[in-house]
């Protein structure tokens, strides 16, 4: 199949349509309109087969995760997603795979009212790069550098599920029944916490999404903000599926070090804790306080039942070159 036939058949006609897209797929550039009194947030992520997703993963889940990872980055900045572009590299055209891929892509973009506005297709190793753009009111963007000693550390949803799901798929963890399905589904189909991110504008002092594990991602906030943290691992939010599949110690390790949960990790001052409860109610997502920031720069201390806790793995996933 030729490139423009592929684009025309799978990407040009479908998906959500927005009024702020003047020119979408089909020209040399997309043309869009940024609403008045809004800032444009832009993020780009590349997913490579056998690095970010299993080569034999369902095509629908591959597209879903690729979009979710980018929308999660926008959510961590408090941005409302608007548009994405896609660069897709494939070794060959398999029409069933492409149809399922497009299904996953459009399912998530339709839900979040996001339009695919352009991109590229090439023949090569299986990989995809998505650039996502969204809007933030001026002065309300969330960053990693605004935290202060005394702020409370929160996380949305539950942690460790995606990492356990990956281990199940790779044969490293033997789980059966409903728990197996739940954990694998959490790995394949993460939920970007867009509603939480927009609710945290002007409330959270810092924010990051959990893509590489709580330990690694919290350290980014500590480094950018010049703070330390005391984290209580017995307060980490764990799903029933995870705690029924592994021991409590193993569940804690997954929660601390496994990536791909795409929950939001954020800090809130004591003065804003009341506003947090009010604002988060509309998102219908549970948030959990897991610790507090200290004035000891870059010093992360873990506790379990008020005693020092040493994790088996001191960091999450990190690319090496």
CATH code for the domain of 14: 3.30.1330.10
Q: Has 319 been labeled as part of a binding site?
A: no
- As for how many domains the chain has, the answer is 2
Task: For residue 291, give the nearest of 241, 236, 244 by alpha carbon.
Answer: 236
175 with 128, same domain: the answer is: no
Q: Has 45 been labeled as part of a binding site?
A: yes
Other Cβ atoms within 10 Å of 141 Cβ, number: 16
Structural domain includes residue 295? yes
Last residue of a domain, one of 112, 136, 160: 136
Rounded CA-CA distance 28/31 in Å is 10
pLDDT tens digits, residue range 209-221? 999 999 999 999 9
**Residue 283 pLDDT grade (very low, low, confident, very high; cuts 50, 70, 90):** confident
Task: For residue 231, give the nearest of 183, 301, 305, 297 by alpha carbon.
Answer: 301
Structural domain includes residue 130? yes
Residue 80, Cβ density class (10 Å: 0-12 exposed, 13-18 middle, ≥19 buried): buried
Q: Has 317 been labeled as part of a binding site?
A: yes
Structural domain includes residue 163? yes
Q: Has 119 been labeled as part of a binding site?
A: yes
Structural domain includes residue 317? no
Expressed as residue numbers, the domain containing 168 is: 152-308
13 with 126, same domain: the answer is: yes
158 with 302, same domain: the answer is: yes
pLDDT tens digits, residue range 148-173? 999 999 999 999 999 999 999 999 99
Distance between start and end Cα atoms, the chain: 34
Q: Has 187 been labeled as part of a binding site?
A: no
Question: Residue 194 sits in a domain of what CATH number?
Answer: 3.90.650.10
**Residue 12 pLDDT grade (very low, low, confident, very high; cuts 50, 70, 90):** confident
Structural domain includes residue 252? yes
Q: Has 43 been labeled as part of a binding site?
A: yes
Q: Has 217 been labeled as part of a binding site?
A: no
296 with 206, same domain: the answer is: yes
174 with 259, same domain: the answer is: yes
Last residue of a domain, one of 93, 112, 136: 136
Structural domain includes residue 194? yes
Q: Has 212 been labeled as part of a binding site?
A: yes
53 with 199, same domain: the answer is: no
161 with 126, same domain: the answer is: no
Q: Has 5 been labeled as part of a binding site?
A: no
Percent of the chain with pLDDT over 70: 95
265 with 159, same domain: the answer is: yes
192 with 248, same domain: the answer is: yes
Q: Has 320 been labeled as part of a binding site?
A: no
Q: How much is the pTM?
A: 0.93
| Model pLDDT, residue 172 | 96
Structural domain includes residue 28? yes
224 with 121, same domain: the answer is: no
Is the per-residue pLDDT at 203 higher than 70?
yes
293 with 171, same domain: the answer is: yes
pLDDT tens digits, residue range 290-320? 999 999 999 999 999 999 999 987 665 555 5
Structural domain includes residue 47? yes
- Evaluated on CA atoms 153, 157, 158, 161, the torsion sign reads negative
Last residue of a domain, one of 107, 136, 165: 136
Is the per-residue pLDDT at 14 higher than 90?
no
54 with 199, same domain: the answer is: no
Is the per-residue pLDDT at 4 higher than 80?
no
- Average pLDDT over the chain, rounded to whole? 93
Q: Has 73 been labeled as part of a binding site?
A: yes
| Model pLDDT, residue 5 | 73
Look up tokens 């029409």; give the residue: 95
């Amino acid at each position: 199949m030729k490139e423009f036939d592929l684009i025309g058949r799978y990407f040009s006609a479908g998906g959500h349509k927005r009024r702020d897209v003047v020119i979408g797929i089909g020209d040399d550039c997309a043309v869009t309109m940024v609403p008045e009194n809004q800032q444009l947030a832009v993020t780009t992520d590349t997913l490579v087969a056998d690095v970010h997703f299993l080569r034999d993963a369902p095509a629908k889940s591959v597209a879903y995760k690729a979009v979710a990872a980018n929308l999660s980055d926008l959510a961590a900045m408090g941005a409302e997603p608007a548009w994405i572009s896609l660069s897709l590299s494939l070794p060959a055209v398999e029409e069933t795979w492409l149809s399922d891929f497009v299904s996953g892509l459009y399912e998530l973009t339709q839900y979040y009212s996001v339009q695919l506005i352009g991109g590229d297709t090439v023949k090569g190793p299986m990989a995809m790069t998505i650039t996502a753009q969204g809007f933030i009111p001026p002065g309300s963007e969330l960053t990693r550098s605004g935290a202060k000693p005394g702020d409370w550390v929160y996380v949305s949803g539950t942690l460790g599920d995606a990492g356990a799901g990956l281990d199940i798929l790779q044969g490293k963890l033997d789980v059966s029944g409903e728990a197996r399905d739940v954990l694998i589904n959490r790995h394949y189909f993460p939920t970007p916490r867009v509603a939480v991110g927009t609710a945290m504008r002007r409330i959270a002092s810092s924010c990051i999404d959990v893509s590489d594990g709580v330990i690694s991602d919290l350290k980014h906030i500590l480094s950018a903000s010049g703070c330390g943290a005391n984290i209580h691992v017995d307060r980490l939010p764990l799903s029933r599926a995870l705690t029924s599949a592994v021991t409590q110690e193993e569940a804690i390790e997954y929660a601390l070090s496994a990536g791909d949960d795409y929950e939001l990790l954020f800090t809130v001052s004591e003065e804003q804790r009341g506003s947090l409860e009010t604002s988060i109610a509309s998102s219908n997502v549970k948030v959990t306080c897991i610790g507090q920031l200290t004035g000891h720069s870059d010093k992360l201390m873990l506790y379990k039942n008020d005693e020092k806790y040493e994790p088996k793995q001191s960091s999450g996933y990190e690319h090496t070159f």
